[in-house]
Structure 1
């Protein structure tokens, strides 16, 4: 998220849509075989592509420099991830273009005396020597330890867990939500604290990566004891660029510690590709066929470097990232993608008063297919809490005190018909305990979701918890300059803090509690963590109350 915006287009919305369709068609046809080869769908088969195998005993440097991770816990399965990169800041990661055998182990104890599962996987050079292992036939609702091995090298030990069995009346789930971690804006201090926190799962709500250049001093980190190579001092455009940028981010010890400590559920926003893009429309309105090639590169690098399953593997410039996870009968998580399928931002993006363009009923932030999937999932949900981890501010957020206030055209306020359909779907499905988890805006918010945002006395339909950034925006402040304006203009806004950190949410059988955790600074390392504010919302009686 940034304050930059596109200039209003000279074309009607339907012409922009036609241009996007043409761009997608041209990408899939005129780039033809080259695109198919560059972004193959399946892992290389035995005897094809990288047929030769490296003798892992020849790896003379630690290949686990980028850590390990786990993700998307299911009742009997969890996804394990690592990448082999002895020299992570080099294009090839310091390995030849050969297959590398990798062994993995899953155990009940951290010393691996009680091994539950073990096996082998292959790190393919076509996928930057990343490894994705879906371990199955596990016990529901249980914690595990895992690690990888290749040659004489053993990775760090990670902790993960499975979800409770379907239909189980779990009494508690404690999650953390994080977002927006611009490397060049500061240290990942919040992740160091999160690694020590007692949570079951972490939801990353977007902007894991930023496409902007990082100078030799690491931007606001101001390194004096190291010099980053020039490969980072440029905007990410190519597959090589994105892969190298993930290497930089994942080399941070606090981020690695958080991944090793907890399973992550990830979804992207815009900066993993490019600021404020919308479907096939780039920020600078580049030719669609060019932008889709960039998007294909970004999506592939994202999948390679995250603990994601094969079902999320991109097909060229497309990837189905939205998905549903269950935590027994306590919670259903409908993880959204509000970037890949959205209509172009109205009025050239930025802030604008609502009008015919932004309120066009045909406009969508989720796409019709994802919207139907979300509402249909609510209709069949048996969960006490229905939680929607997603990217941009869902609740109305007036940006000034004018009679007709400006709204953000990049958030759900720029797609009010989409929001109305989703809320109508929640009501028709009988969703009583709705919670939206959001990132993007680099501040912490707590909203009551109202039936009519302009009528404070209207029914509260749910709550929205907005996680501040890990670093983006640098140190921030407890009360930003627009704090008084926002709190007066939006009576349903119950909390607003502009410092860095994360949020934890504990879901229970009678209530949910949100604790907003902040650090005083990220431009210098080592800041302490504090709970800036806490709120609860009760089952069957939605609305945030400060505690």
Structure 2
């Protein structure tokens, strides 16, 4: 999503403070320098903005490793080899003196841009595993890249994670000196896992060598082949993912904690919808959004640690994951199944008002009803009540009319009604997309539509993109802006003070959830403490 208008001024923060340092459980980037208020890796570390180094001699995995789709007993490892060959994982059993287990993976080649995944089975719940991933060629094994992951616990344990969105957008690429330091800020919190809520790349956003800043200085990007133009081929979409993974901070974060990634619009192009025909003066080689989306989805899946067993023939990217007795995750796809963007005021539901689509909405109701977790965290790629214009129409569900549900709001109203009637408790929505951070509380007592239970929605990001002024809320579902923060002008650079991520900590003993909204400079800008809900 790219904002096309500015909303009201941001609200004042209810609480501010410094992010607690906390004990270190896993290695993070070494002590850094302060440069413009941003945390920067020391000179001895790999230069964040520089192209990823390919070792001479034996092939390695120069874009690092990642783990994902981690459950109590399984995990998926991801890597991109520097040469064709077979991916092989080596996993160390936890505990003192634990041995290494070898797990052969697939042969990778140009058909997947040398990317591949290795599924690990037979893991123990609540344990931390070290792993190595390497590629074996006819000349023997290559250089290994290492990582660490923690499986979901069965027992009630403390769990923490971070979430954000919007990476390398609006022309702000990997800075030649700083790289993308927001990822180092998330890494420093030592999360059990990471959620990227969409816009993992900006395939439609050209990255130029230099950007002139308002103060007359110059932002200098690392530029690699293809990123100076909009992606209109499979290799160009892949190139955007290679570009982001070339950042040392990104690689360190995904090596240190599992990643749950979802897509939104910029993995393809701004505000796209199925069936759209894009302007010929912008897309001169391929105008069909469906074709671009097929390439964009393929590249997105190839460059993230997805378990192939949870995808269908159409490449489904929504799913659910348990992270212990207190926490289940429900990851949505608000892009694939929607109708066309429009004025969004249709009085009756139909194909034009689809947002999640019936099958995905049914799945969410069914799976949240089955969940026994204290908290059911819905990972959405767009906010529910924020007004997001798209020309003369609307990009999200809200239409700017505070009255009864119309357009896509009809599907959302039906979903919230069904969740209430299914007696689903402990729903918390997390999202990004709008390039500012906020805490919203939805309550039927303030709403035009009243057949739902109150819930919280937390918005964060961007992690490394242009920041935008806080937008307007639609009153149909009764949102109250408890807190919001963003810049006063559009497209503030990552050097500003409005790059954000969120942090969630769930206490194992009590189930209390603490949500903090944080800047990438290390400041906690807002905190909400949520007590466990009463089961009905």
On whether the aligned pair clears a TM of 0.5, the verdict is yes
The counterpart of 1:175, out of the listed 138, 161, 165, is: 161
Deviation at 1:234, TM superposition (A): 0.9
Separation in structure 1 between the aligned mates of residue 210 and residue 146 of structure 2, nearest angstrom: 28
Q: What's the TM-score, normalizing by structure 1?
A: 0.73
The answer to whether the 8 A contact 2:204-2:230 is kept is yes
How far apart, CA to CA, are the structure 1 residues paired with 2:202 and 2:527?
30
Matches within 5 A, 1:507-522: 507-508=506-507, 509-519=510-520
User: Given the superposition, is the C-alpha separation of residues 355 and 59 from structure 1 closer, same or farther in structure 2, using an over 3 Å criterion?
Assistant: same
Instruction: Spell out the pairing of 1:198-347 with structure 2 (5 A cutoff).
Output: 198-217=190-209, 219=211, 228-282=223-277, 284=279, 290-311=288-309, 315=313, 318-347=314-343
Larger RCO of the pair (alpha carbons < 8 Å, separation 6+): 2
The yes-or-no answer on 1:60 pairing with 2:57 is: yes
What CA deviation, in whole Å up to 9, does each residue of 1:376-423 have, x standing for no partner?
Answer: 1122221211111011111x23689xxxxx998222214211111111
Matches within 5 A, 1:7-46: none
Deviations 1:40-83 (A, max 9, x none): xxxxxxxxxxxxxxxxxx97365322110000111100110000
Q: What does residue 148 of structure 1 align with?
A: 133
Q: What's the CA shift string for 1:167-201, capped at 9, x where partnerless?
A: x4x24321111111125325421101212212111
Asked whether the equivalents of residues 107 and 113 of structure 1 are also in contact (C-alpha less than 8 Å), the reply is no
Q: Identify the structure with the greater helix proportion.
A: 1
Of 345, 358, 362, which residue of structure 2 is paired with 1:368?
Answer: 358
In structure 2, C-alpha distance between the alignment counterparts of 1:313 and 1:373, rounded to whole Å: 14
Match of 2:146 in 1: 157
- Secondary structure at 1:342's aligned position in 2? coil
Judged with a 3 Å threshold, the aligned counterparts in structure 2 of structure 1 residues 356 and 533 are, in CA distance, closer, same or farther, namely same
TM-score between both structures, scaled by the size of structure 2: 0.75
Secondary structure, aligned partner of 2:69: strand
Matched-pair contact (CA < 8 Å) for 2:427–2:456: yes
Distance 1:453 1:61 in 2: 63
1:2 Cα offset (Å): 0.9
Q: CA deviation at 1:313?
A: 5.5
SS at 1:432's partner residue?
A: coil
Q: What CA distance in whole angstroms lies between the structure 2 residues aligned with 1:459 and 1:342?
A: 23
CA distance in 1, matches of 2:79, 2:132: 9
Provide closer, same or farther for how the CA distance between residues 344 and 83 of structure 1 changes in structure 2, counting only shifts above 3 A.
Answer: same
Instruction: For 1:368 and 1:345, locate their aligned partners in 2 and report how far apart those are by CA, in whole Å.
Output: 18
Query: What SS does the corresponding residue of 1:279 show, helix, strand or coil?
Result: coil
- How far residue 233 of structure 1 moved from its aligned partner, in angstroms, is 1.1
Distance in 2, matches of 1:410 and 1:507, equals 33
Match of 2:39 in 1: none
The residue that corresponds to 2:112 in the other structure is: 127
- Is the 1:105–1:115 contact (alpha carbons within 8 Å) kept by the matching residues of 2? no
Q: Is the 8 A contact 1:505 1:513 kept in 2?
A: yes
Measured after TM superposition, the shift of residue 126 of structure 1 is: 0.9
1:84 CA displacement: 1.2
Q: Is the 8 A contact 2:442 2:480 kept in 1?
A: yes
For the 8 Å contact 2:505–2:515, the answer to whether it is kept is yes
Q: Find the counterpart in structure 2 of residue 386 from structure 1.
A: 376
- TM-fit CA distance, 1:206: 0.3
Give secondary structure in 1 for the equivalent of 2:226.
helix
1:185 maps to 172
Equivalent residues, number:
444
2:145 alignment partner, SS class = coil
Runs of 5+ unmatched residues, structure 2 = 6-54, 174-178, 400-407, 487-497
Shift of 1:250: 0.6
- 1:282 Cα shift? 4.9
Measure, in 2, the Cα distance between the counterparts of 1:313 and 1:381.
21
Question: Contact between 2:130 and 2:148, CA under 8 Å: does it hold in 1?
Answer: yes
Contact kept, 8 Å, 2:60 with 2:145, in 1: the verdict is: no
Are 2:498 and 1:467 aligned?
no
Following TM superposition, by how much is the alpha carbon of 1:258 offset from its aligned partner in structure 2, in angstroms? Answer: 0.9
Alignment of 1:346-365 (within 5 A): 346-347=342-343, 355-356=345-346, 360=349, 363-365=353-355
Residues 245-293 of structure 1 show CA distances to partners (whole Å, capped at 9, x for unaligned) of 1111110111111111110111100111111112333554999994322
The residue that corresponds to 1:106 in the other structure is 91
Establish whether residue 437 from structure 1 lines up as the match of residue 430 from structure 2: yes
* Distance (Å, rounded) in 1 between the aligned partners of 2:388 and 2:224: 40
